[in-house]
A = this chain, B = another copy of it.
Amino acid sequence: MTPATYSPISVDCVVFGFDGNLLKVLLVPRRFKEAGSDGRLVERQDCKLPGSLIFDDEDLTQSAYRILGEIIDTNNIYLKQLHVFSNPDRIDSRSMEWLNETYRVEARRIVTVAYYSLVKLTPKMAALCEANHGEWHDVQSIRKLALDHKSILMRALETLNKQLVNEPIAFELLPRRFTIRQLQMLYEAILGVEVDNRNFRKKLLSSGYLEALDEKEHGVAHKPARFYQFNKSRFEREARRKTKLNFINWQG
């Protein structure tokens, strides 16, 4: 029998936030040594997704909460398993050395389970994150990441795109009360398209899941816009009812 692989398992987290204008992803710095032009080892730095090997007494979700809990406030965040990345050659030998040193293991490969999270990027969250050396990077501007984290990010982005169209997850990224304009900016930032303002407003308001509040923006240069909130429990109630009735509800 071919020998079974003993492999450390890691968890890597793709955390998306929205700053009102751009889609951001949470990264942490990685310090490593590399041979410089004169052959001597030079200290370098790049960025990676927050991650860790899992520990003996943890399941994967506990591990994801531990990793994120060291950087952000994990109360009420949206967190799901995304995908397992298991190509035996997913990490090149130099990064494999870095991982083995960092975690004091002797692994030839590491299987990683990617988690996917959406958070409300409040000023409090941003401050906490900065204090813990987390960095919010504009997703569009990211050229390279350490290890194979760029491809994990791309996979998460694909999922975010699909989900945004098919599920009301936009509200996980917005403040509890928001204007229709903020919601539209979020859709445009993620989907990378311009959305027709009138259609968007009409479709959203006719969905029946947005509640107009008595409050309006203040201190803005333009005409103050009304705040709305998403009625999640009503949405979920309706979704359960409709699934029972609509046995065919294909996206096509």
A residues engaging B (CB < 8 A)? 1-9, 53-61, 81, 83-84, 86-88, 103-105, 107-109, 111, 113, 162, 164-168, 187, 191, 193, 195, 200, 203-204, 207, 209, 235-236, 238-239, 242-244, 246-252
Contacts and interface: CB of A to CB of B under 8 A. Distances in A.
A235 to B, nearest CB: 5
Nearest to A170: B248
A5 B168 contact: no
Nearest to A248: B203
Nearest to A232: B252
Contact of A86 (B3, B59, B109, B242): B59
B249 A5 contact: no
A55 B3 contact: yes
Q: How many chain copies?
A: 2
B6 A6 contact: yes
A249 B248 contact: no
B81 A83 contact: yes
5 contacts: A4-B54, A60-B86, A191-B247, A200-B247, A249-B251
B204 A248 contact: yes
- List the 10 closest pairs (A to B, CB-CB), nearest first: A4-B53, A239-B252, A59-B86, A60-B86, A2-B55, A235-B252, A238-B252, A59-B87, A5-B56, A6-B6
A173 to B, nearest CB: 15
A195 to B, nearest CB: 6
Given A2-B55, A168-B250, 15 more contacts: A3-B55, A4-B103, A4-B105, A5-B9, A5-B53, A6-B8, A6-B107, A7-B8, A59-B87, A162-B243, A165-B246, A187-B247, A204-B248, A207-B248, A209-B252
